[in-house]
Amino acid sequence: MAMAKPREMGDHWVPMGCHLLVIEDLFLEREGRLILRGVNLAVEEGEIHAILGANGTGKSTLAYAIMGLAGYRPNKGRILFAGEDITEKSVTERAKLGITLAWQQPASFEGLTIREYLEISKRAGRGYLRIEDCLALVGLPPKNYLDRTLNDRLSGGERKRVELAAVLAMAPRLAILDEPDSGIDVLSLDDIMEVIRRMNRGGTTVLLITHREEFARVAHRASHLCGGRILKTGECAEVVQFYKNFCKECTHINEPELEKTEEKG
């Protein structure tokens, strides 16, 4: 299939209206390498929006930039949340506005019981689910887990599931889920999608970051990230098709074609 130049596929973003999260022309450099190269994205309040992209295309970098983690301050561009410019705000300020990133469990929770952690999470947000139900939804029997401590005796997969339960308990305004299936043992993709649906029904807008197109089944809309740019936003089926055509045999991860087209002018 003949492909239009990526440059012409860009700019598929919608101007701000009832958008919860708007990213405008975001550039971000890490250790001298330009990783985000003009990201434009608009996420509507209430939607599950999938960001689809192959490995190494800048998905996690984008997630960290939205959360405002140290070292991820953009070189250019703006991030707006509920109409407010948050580009210069700290992680804590962003968290207070209702943005949560999984996986980013702060070290300060270490040593708390899972019950305490989930209760704190619930109080920090707008959650109405019982913490027991949150645990059960991520496949952890509450009676076995509520009184366990958050420490290194939990497996990586258990920690991730506890963190997913905490997002459910909190019901933040925006949840950024970075590869929610990675390292989660036991739970199937369908289980995780059900958790995401529950989260969304509880009023959380979800930014679902993944390289797996199967996740598009749970999303309302999707965007395709390649080479640090959103090349397409739209209906999931359309974006998945584009991702499959364009990325399955991609030879330019981190060296996007658009650089070439720009050079050629």
Amino acid at 144: N
Residue 93 backbone phi and psi in degrees, to 5: -65, -40
Only one of the segments 55-63, 149-157, 200-208, 224-232 lies at the binding site for Mg ion (rule: CB under 5 A); that segment is 55-63
From residue 1 to residue 30, the character string flagging contacts with ligand ADP as x (rule: CB under 6 A) and all else as - is -----------------------------x
Strand order across the beta sheet in which 174-178 lies: 99-102, 174-178, 205-210, 48-52, 221-226, 229-235
Question: Which parts of 40-59 interact with ligand ADP (CB under 6 A)?
Answer: 53, 55-59
The residue with tokens 């996690």 is: 60
Q: Which is nearer to ligand ADP, 133 or 255 (CB)?
A: 255
Residue 77 in contact with ligand ADP, rule: CB under 6 A: no
Q: Are 172 and 146 in contact (CB under 8 A)?
A: no
From residue 88 to residue 117, the character string flagging contacts with ligand ADP as x (rule: CB under 6 A) and all else as - is ------------------------------
Question: How far apart are CB 84 and Mg ion at their closest, in Å?
Answer: 27
- Give the whole-angstrom CA distance, residue 228 versus residue 142: 41
Question: In the set 61, 200, 210, 223, which binds ligand ADP (CB under 6 A)?
Answer: 61
- 246 Cβ neighbours under 8 A, 6+ residues apart: 3, 224, 226, 231
Residue 60 in contact with Mg ion, rule: CB under 5 A: yes
Q: Which is nearer to ligand ADP, 63 or 99 (CB)?
A: 63
Residue 254 in contact with ligand ADP, rule: CB under 6 A: yes
Question: How far apart are CB 101 and Mg ion at their closest, in Å?
Answer: 12
Question: How far apart are CB 250 and Mg ion at their closest, in Å?
Answer: 16
* Token pair of 1 as six digits: 């299939």
Residue 205 in contact with ligand ADP, rule: CB under 6 A: no
Q: Which residues are bridge partners to 39 per DSSP? A: 26
Question: How far apart are CB 39 and ligand ADP at their closest, in Å?
Answer: 11
Number of residues that bind ligand ADP (CB under 6 A): 13
Helix (H, G, I), strand (E, B) or coil at 41: strand
User: Within 10 Å of residue 72's Cβ, how many Cβ atoms?
Assistant: 19
Q: What is the DSSP letter of 154?
A: S
- 182 Cβ neighbours under 8 A, 6+ residues apart: none
Residue 121 in contact with Mg ion, rule: CB under 5 A: no
Where do contacts with ligand ADP occur on this chain (CB under 6 A)? 30-31, 33, 35, 53, 55-61, 254
